[in-house]
Structure 1
Amino acid sequence: MQSRTAKILCITLLFICLVTNVYAYTTITIPYDKFNTQTPTYYQTDKTYTLFEAEITIDATYNTSNSNAVIVLMLTNSKDNDKDGIVFKIFASLAQVFIMTDGVYANNKIAEIAGDVGWKNKIGNTWVITYADGKLSIGNSTDKDVLVSNYAYSNFELNYVQVSDGSAVPKSLTSGNVYVSIDDSMLQTETLVYAWIPVIVTFAMLGVVLGLLKKVTK
């Protein structure tokens, strides 16, 4: 019986590993000139993400002769005017993060990095955005909530990456790209593992009990 229990546990773990491979992974390369216009560009994700870890990597050059040069990028659920989303406004020495609700975000700033420290020192060139269980965290690859930690933001769905909006500044960037990657495999696997933990523990305890009973009845 213990052997059978062990086999069931192995099959369960194998199932969890195999399921991981079916999850989506979106990668987007955004040329610098897309940030130089106030006309938005939309990149659709491979699927609707209800939880995700996204990375925004800035490999572009700001226009040093333009003090207002800015990267405007949004993770959003829709292309409609009343959309919801997470808005990043990243200047050369200032970064702001807003939550958009029903198409408005100006009065809902949730984070800002300014001054001599700057976002490049605190975040680096790669921003990491984690969204799971209705909570939003923003940081870098080594400290994923250094800027925003478990901000309550329920029922968000990610369908598009929007580049630029009416607040964008012409001639903000002179070269390079901004890369966005979106992945849910690790978070989905973590959720799946947690869901199966009670089952795994039950089988393990059953195996122990049956093993003890077998010894007692000998």
Structure 2
Amino acid sequence: MIAATAALAGLALPKFIPHGRLQMGTVGEWVAASVTFAAVITAFAIATVDRREREKERRAEEATVARLVRLRVTCTGSASVDVYIRNYGELPILDVDIANVSWTKHPEARWGTILTNDGTIARGNTKRPMLLNYRQSDNEVSSYQEASPPTINYPVWFMHPTVDEALIDTSNFAPIDLSTVIIKIQFTTANGVRWETSTIGSGMGQPVRL
């Protein structure tokens, strides 16, 4: 029993390990190693913070570009509105499209962008492949203030829920109250980010990254 205990005690001491002496090092070596380890951890933490800050700045810049795409809505009748999309940025935007249109006063209403000769309304193809940037719209104009921004115009008619005809608000035949109309537009900025922005009354809200 005493021999077994002594053997176990011997195994617990580094100098009696059969495969060689375990070099524990001096106090100075341990301090140096600790300082090196702390420096590595600190450098990693700083790099992580820098990467997050750069990512935050990049996303802020992308949002700034998206905010240069502006929407405006005008009322053109008791069952229709016009949506204007203008690009004030230095780069073109791509794949502009109407994601959804709703009229809170008549949530059952459908919508379309083509009014045919016989008075019926069709959805139509609302996707536009490109909206040029501000400078490309007029190469002969030297200043932004003088140039007219490129514009996409969507006429939108509200339809009866089951018949492809205009949904007329027969209660007063007044123009549509734009505060009750929500139009969602999607587009892709030149850096490949897809955005959606909604109209608020005659203006627009903030773009949302998709």
Instruction: Name the TM tier (shorter chain).
Output: 0.3 to 0.5
- Computing the radius of gyration over CA atoms, which structure comes out larger, 1 or 2? 2
Q: TM-score, normalised on structure 1?
A: 0.32
Query: Does 1 or 2 have the higher relative contact order (CA < 8 Å, sep 6+)?
Result: 1
Higher strand share: 1
